[in-house]
Amino acid sequence: MHYLVEQFLSICDSIHFVFFPPVSFMDAIEFARKGKFDAYVAVGGGSVMDTCKAANLYASSPESDLLDFVNAPIGKGKPVTVPLNPLIAVPTTSGTGSETTGIAIFDYEELNAKTGIASRAIKPTLGLIDPLHTLHMPERVIANSGFDVLCHSLESYTALPYHMRSPCPTNPIERPTYQGSNPISDVWAKHALRIVAKYLKRAVKNPDDREARFSMHLASSFAGIGFGNAGVHLCHGMSYPISGLVKTYRAKDYNVEHPIVPHGLSVVLTSPAVFSFTASMCPERHLEAAEILGADIRTAKIKDAGLVLADTLRKFLFDLNVDDGLSAVGYTTADIPALVKGTLPQERVTKLSPRSHSEDELSCLFEASMKLY
Amino acid sequence: MHYLVEQFLSICDSIHFVFFPPVSFMDAIEFARKGKFDAYVAVGGGSVMDTCKAANLYASSPESDLLDFVNAPIGKGKPVTVPLNPLIAVPTTSGTGSETTGIAIFDYEELNAKTGIASRAIKPTLGLIDPLHTLHMPERVIANSGFDVLCHSLESYTALPYHMRSPCPTNPIERPTYQGSNPISDVWAKHALRIVAKYLKRAVKNPDDREARFSMHLASSFAGIGFGNAGVHLCHGMSYPISGLVKTYRAKDYNVEHPIVPHGLSVVLTSPAVFSFTASMCPERHLEAAEILGADIRTAKIKDAGLVLADTLRKFLFDLNVDDGLSAVGYTTADIPALVKGTLPQERVTKLSPRSHSEDELSCLFEASMKLY
């Protein structure tokens, strides 16, 4: 057992441990409220850690309704003022970065879309980044979780800069969790992107390449530190309805009883279209990202930054056997209005896009993502 | 006035402000003990911030002797257990990174050498990284403080890895402030080195290049976050006697009444010799650093990593008009025994060298640093 978990157990041996496999936010919250636990250990991927964050939050604030802390406009977006109990997060996938963030995402079934809670108060007390916990991941889980890291890096590096976000708070301490790109988040985003460029293909193609898998596990946390204080934008905002409205697509290597478009896949499928669209607002950053991902940009024109990054991403995704666009995961042009409608409430992230966008432009981005190659 | 300083003043308008220009650690400590201040604001370079850290520490522990908290073997190296008052650090040079670290360095006149205090407890509460504060720096101050950033990055990136440092603590929380290189400090070291490679020459050659000066100010803090938890090694360990034993050398652009080898200069003069010596322990990192600093390493052999980095550094320093080695700042071969003797007590940093070293080897490093070009 990991040294720190052992230590943790040894200092709290008077505490009764209860194991709870997460089913839904509501079940976990009810379970936590009844159990009145002193501390939480979340062992799993993003859903598990996010569910545990929510259980901790609502058990610490027993009178609150679910929507109280959920992001506006779906929820009331109230600030968290109660103290929470310690939460130790142990990620077993290499993508979410949830162990480093104050974000908890869930499927709000009434709207068929994902939404979330964002508050520094729910950030785990400690994260155990041990790559040995990820050796069970099958090939597509490595790939899809890696795409989440890729998009965390690219989106946080190209997000609206923190000083251009409105409304501008009167005191810097009041900046939201997702404050926009900034010199600190840039460090983490670029470093994580370099690791993805060097190791993701190796990790996917050879499960025994431990250096690659270990590096991707660190990259997942590093990208988390970056996007956890900068934010993400359109790929993530548009991914929530792509996952939420899934019809019959069942991703390979996911051992679940229901149709699923895995989070990382739903995020990455729109990336070529999104970065073609956003590049005009910060073309240097788009070109720099393309270069890190292997493009030769010596003769590239700044006005082609979006196309260069989009082409680089298409090649990267093709090499990794990614399904050929939204059409390959079951969507047709007829679904676009519903996908746009599901994106509109994701303001928490979409307003961090460096380029503002109309509903028509969102439609075009979904349309352009129907086929990739 | 900076927004945050203004805010700070507005929330504590009942506090009496006393301005104290630092003279020595002892004067500052005495002044702080008498004044019983509630908070400190340090505005200046590394000496000013370090003096303020010491004043805060010893005023919070009024019964302690100076040597109580000073690093062993010179001092007793006691752990800090008292709570300190808030300290806001406002750096006005771009080199020290002291605003991010729990380190305070001073000249211990009885030994003619620099030594220090290292404890997370003395780390400033808040740092204000505002490049407008650095626009007064003359050309040599920009260059020499930049060399400090260069060596902070190179030394922390090549320092002994944290898991190879002995004694290995039984609990990770007991690792010292300088714990050795690790995946987090590597991120900061490499990022700062990239900024130095891109901007230091521009900042030195054109004082009006604000992008370059602003970037170097951030690089200083970034490198500080890196070395502040990884540590530095031989360049810094050997620099303390080089500064402490100064004879008549008076650095250009330093407006002081006494001979001085500025810290950044005393650190960088041994860097070609030091990295030639350490490269065999982690040649890939030495080659990677040379590449970031502009070397073409495509045909470089791994066994030549030290020579490649040393040559890259020599060229870099020559382009920046650095004095030609220790001989140019007043030292001769006859001084080497004293320089070695002054290095021996710097175990806090020298034991982080990736390659262990005898007194003879230290002599050779000083000898090889007499002339650079």
Render pLDDT for A79-119 as a digit per residue (tens, 0 to 9).
Answer: 999 999 999 999 999 999 999 999 999 988 887 667 889 99
Q: Can you read off the two tokens belonging to residue B100?
A: 């991010």
Q: Which pLDDT band holds residue A9 (cuts at 50, 70, 90)?
A: low
pLDDT, tens only, B52-86: 999 999 999 999 999 999 988 889 999 999 999 99
Name the H helices within chain B. 3-11, 25-35, 46-60, 66-69, 139-158, 183-205, 210-230, 234-244, 263-268, 271-278, 283-292, 305-319, 336-343, 347-350, 359-368
The two tokens of residue A273 are 């279209």
Contacts of B188 in chain A (CB under 8 A): 187
Lowest mean pLDDT among A106-110, B314-318, B356-360: A106-110
Q: Which residues of B touch A188 (CB under 8 A)?
A: 187
Judged against a pLDDT cut of 60, whether residue A7 lies above it is answered with no
- Structure ipTM: 0.85
Give B187 to chain A, closest Cα distance, Å.
7
Of A53-57, B29-33, B73-77, B125-129, the poorest mean pLDDT is in B73-77
Query: Is the confidence at residue B15, as pLDDT, over 50?
Result: yes
Residue A189: phi, psi to the nearest 5?
-60, -45
What does the alpha-carbon distance between residue A345 and residue A167 come to, in Å, rounded to a whole number?
18
> Tell me: the pLDDT tens digits for B331-341?
999 999 999 99
Residue to test with chain B: of A2, A187, A216, most B Cβ within 10 A: A187
Asked if A295 and A257 touch (Cβ cutoff 8 Å), the reply is no
pLDDT for the residue A1: 43
Q: Do B190 and A191 touch (CB under 8 A)?
A: yes
Contact between B183 and A7 using a beta-carbon 8 Å cutoff: no
Please give the mean pLDDT across all residues of chain A. Answer: 92
Token readout for B158 is: 């090549």
Residue B143 pLDDT greater than 60, yes or no: yes
Q: In this predicted model, what pLDDT tens digit does every residue of A190-236 receive, in sequence order?
A: 999 999 999 999 999 998 999 999 999 999 999 999 999 999 999 99
Separation CA A139–CA B193 (nearest Å): 36
B171: left (phi over 0), alpha (psi -120 to 50) or beta: beta
* Backbone φ and ψ of B239, nearest 5°: -70, -30
DSSP string, B108-146: EGGGTEEEEEE-GGGS-SEE---GGGGTT--HHHHHHHH
Contacting residues of A for B190, CB less than 8 Å apart: 191
Residues in chain A with CB shorter than 8 Å from the CB of B4 are 172
Which residue carries 């502009």 as its tokens?
Answer: B294
Two tokens, residue A223:
């990208």
- Which CATH superfamily includes the segment(s) A138-368? Dehydroquinate synthase-like - alpha domain (1.20.1090.10)
Check whether domain B140-368 has CATH 1.20.1090.10, yes or no:
yes
All CATH 1.20.1090.10 domain ranges of chain A, comma separated, are 138-368
- pLDDT value at residue A3: 53
Torsion from C-alpha of B207, B209, B210, B212, nearest 10 degrees: -100
Angle, helices B46-60 vs B25-35, to 10°: value is 50
| pLDDT at residue B20 is higher than 80 | no
User: Which of A7, A191, A218 is facing B191, going by the closest CB pair?
Assistant: A191
How would you label B16-30 residue by residue, b for 16+ Cβ within 10 Å and e otherwise? eeeebebeebeebbe
* H-helix or E-strand spanning residue A56: helix A46-60
CA atoms of B93 and A184, how far apart (whole Å)? 20
| Residue A368 confidence class, pLDDT cut points 50, 70, 90 | very high
Cβ-nearest to B222 among A171, A187, A222: A187
Domain B3-128: CATH class, spelled out: alpha beta
Pairing of strands B126-127, B87-91: parallel
Write out chain B residues lying below 8 Å of A220, CB-based: none
**Least confident window among A3-17, A93-107, A254-268:** A3-17
Is residue A169 scored above 90 in pLDDT?
A: no
Average pLDDT, whole number, for chain B?
Answer: 92
Could you tell me how many CB contacts below 8 A there are between chain A and chain B? 18
Extract the tokens encoding B63.
């019964």
pLDDT band of B12, cuts 50, 70, 90: low
B119-143 mean pLDDT: 94
Percent of chain B with pLDDT over 90: 82
Name the DSSP letter for residue A130: -
Is B87's pLDDT higher than 60?
yes
Share of residues in chain A with pLDDT > 90 (%): 82
Contact B104, B40 (CB under 8 A): no
Interval A301-322: pLDDT, tens: 999 999 999 999 999 999 999 9
Enumerate the CATH 1.20.1090.10 domain ranges in chain B, comma separated. 140-368
3-state secondary structure (DSSP) of residue B288: helix
Name A161's bridge partners. A181
Ranges of CATH 3.40.50.1970 domains, chain B:
3-128
- Among B4, B7, B187, the residue with its CB nearest the CB of A191 is B187
DSSP for A326-344 reads GGGGT--GGGHHHHHHHHT
pLDDT band per the 50, 70, 90 thresholds, residue B21: low
Q: What is the pLDDT of residue B9?
A: 55
Q: Does B171 touch chain A (CB under 8 A)?
A: yes
Contact indicator for B106, B156 with CB cutoff of 8 Å:
no
* Average pLDDT, integer, range A61-76: 93
Q: In the predicted model, what is the mean pLDDT of residues A143-168?
A: 95
Put simply, the answer to whether B188 touches A190 (Cβ < 8 Å) is no
Q: Is residue B44 over pLDDT 60? A: yes
| Region label for B180, one of left (φ > 0), alpha (ψ between -120 and 50) or beta (otherwise) | left
Q: Which residues in chain B (183-242) have CB-CB distances under 8 A to chain A?
A: 183, 187-188, 190-191, 218, 222
Residue numbers in A near B183 (CB within 8 A): 218
Q: Is B10 on the interface with A (CB under 8 A)?
A: no
Confidence of residue B6 (pLDDT cuts 50, 70, 90): low
Residue A268 has pLDDT above 50, yes or no: yes
